[in-house]
A and B are shown apart, each in its own frame.
Chain A
């Protein structure tokens, strides 16, 4: 069974631009969560989607948004990029809403110049 896939794997953007990251969960998994990982802050929760609805949202500004499609694929968008948005963005899929075990994709490394 294929794992979680994320595209693109690497991105370089400049301040003020916007970016869209994509995540395809494991086949049959319907819940997708997004995390930001930085050396200083560790893994921080961004949001969780299930059945095209946002179930939870972390403590991030409104510049960070996401959505989920009917096939469970998810995208996250960051607008008006700041230098501090440089991070590894990880997507994790789980079988169902509230299902405990999450499986991570390889991540998207975003660099903001």
Chain B
């Protein structure tokens, strides 16, 4: 059973701080990694994808991947109240396999 684990939270951070969201996965052959943001009552929105070890930056978001440790994280710099949402980590092995989602971490940014 391929698993993706996330701390359910809530993770509370003050406005302007860095929020750090973490995800571990069990399938060693996983190749593609994604972060989705889901606001309450809405559908998931893709915010980051990462395929290689290391960091990938996009605006205030940085995704970090360590395949040896089977660990992927998302950093949100200068957190804003509008970043308050549930963040879902998703992992995919080879081409003909489905995405496997974690249950998400609820982030609350306090003004």
Residues of A within 8 A of B (CB): 33, 35, 41-45, 48, 55-56, 58, 88, 90, 97-98, 100-107
Q: Which residues of B contact A45 (CB under 8 A)?
A: 98-100
Q: How many residues of B contact A (CB 8 A)?
A: 23
Interface of A is mostly: strand
Residues of B within 8 A of A (CB): 32, 34, 36, 42-46, 49, 51, 88, 92, 94-104
Q: How far is the CA of A105 from the CA of B45 in the complex (A)?
A: 9
Whether A106 contacts B88 by the Cβ 8 Å rule is no
Q: Which residues of A contact B42 (CB under 8 A)?
A: 106
User: In this complex, what residue of B is CB-closest to A102?
Assistant: B99
In the A-B complex, list the 9 residue pairs whose CB atoms are closest, starting with the nearest. Answer: A98-B95, A42-B103, A43-B101, A104-B43, A45-B98, A100-B32, A107-B43, A56-B98, A104-B44
